[in-house]
Amino acid sequence: MSIINDQLDFSTVANVFLVHGSLQSPAFLDGRLCAELGLQDISAEGWLEEVCRALNVEQPESRDDADVLLGWRRQTLDALSAAELNFEPMLPDELFSLSERAQGLKEWTQGFLEIVNEVDGETYENWSPPLREALEDLGTLSAIDVDIADDPENENDLFALTEHARMAAMLLYTEQHPGEPQVEQVEAEDADLAANDGETPPSLH
């Protein structure tokens, strides 16, 4: 269920990138955005400046393009802070090949970790064991093999790996924003257990 009326997806943002002459995937910047919202509460202005730098332009081509880029930030922030815990990283969907989807997850993870790795050691040590473990799991995702076949086993594995990334982003946000989202303690404990289930993330074949 969408938490906003006009849900932006990967292809919508990628099309805005194309308008600005960029073939890069939005996944890398979405990973950075999720980490920046968790750690720094990046402003709308700051986010627009970051995207424009990435696209090598001074400003968006049109007001509509600016609205998409700003809506991207607002949608992500709303999802991370929502009580429903229904945040989803912006990644290629089922219209893309499994290999392209794996590449998107890899790029998202690299963008997320690029921001997280700037945190000082003291801050890192103060994070909960579930969050630290989730971040360590992401380290393996940033180097996954994306040359994979479209088969049910890899589909299931990719879903599980994406869930690790999703949970890491939510754990980071909730630990840096105590009381947000307003969820019951049992739900928070369920999130911790999901990130700290003692299992190694699956590997793509």
- Strand segments (E) across 122-200: none
What would the two tokens of residue 37 be?
């919202």
pLDDT of residue 82: 92
Report how far residue 160's alpha carbon sits from residue 164's, in angstroms, rounded to the nearest whole number: 7
CB 93 within 8 A of CB 15: no
CB 201 within 8 A of CB 164: yes
- Give the dihedral of Cα atoms 87, 93, 99, 103; nearest 10 deg: -40
Instruction: Give the type of residue at 84.
Output: E
* Listed residue (104, 145, 114) closest to 10, CA to CA: 104
pLDDT of residue 200: 53
* Listed residue (82, 124, 109) closest to 163, CA to CA: 109
CA 191 to chain centre: 16
pLDDT of residue 4: 40
Where along the chain do its domains lie? 10-195
pLDDT of residue 188: 42
CB 178 within 8 A of CB 119: no
CATH 1.20.120.740 assigned to domain 10-195? The reply is yes
pLDDT of residue 191: 42
Those residues of the chain that have pLDDT short of 50 are 1-5, 182-198
Sign of CA dihedral 188, 194, 197, 201: negative
